[in-house]
Amino acid sequence: MSGVHESPNQHHPSAKCVFAGDGDMRQGLQQRANQLGVAPATRFLGHHNGQDLVNLHKACDAVCLPSRNEPFGIAALEGWAASKPVVASKNGGPNEFIWHNVTGLKIGNRSRVSPAAGEFIGA
């Protein structure tokens, strides 16, 4: 959540940050979204797989992987399979196979996701 310091709505009023997945960090992320004031622009959908996950990827403007530790980055491949641009941190697997400004955008470990993802909203 630290990568979403500003609301995506600041420059794109109808934009939403959608989080798919569950885990120990979900409750903390939701609380952090409230603290940062970006909760109205976020959606936490929980675990999805199969066609539901495919449909989520197809419905988005960009797939963002701001992980501090991403062993491989299967979500990047899922995003590409849905013909979506990928924004990923320079950590782990995605750093090895994403070519900056060619197959996606790589952001620094402390960079904000919103400005990078904003390049693709409505594209």
Query: For the segment 58-98, what is each residue's pLDDT rounded down to a tens digit?
Result: 999 889 887 777 677 788 999 999 999 998 888 778 888 88
CA angle 93, 102, 61 (to 5 degrees): 85
Contact status, residue 86 vs residue 105, Cβ threshold 8 Å? yes
For residue 69, what are the domain limits? 8-118
Please report, for the domain that includes residue 64, its CATH number.
3.40.50.2000
> In 3D, which of 49, 90, 86 has the Cα closest to residue 67?
90
Our count of domains for the chain comes to 1
pTM of the shown model: 0.75
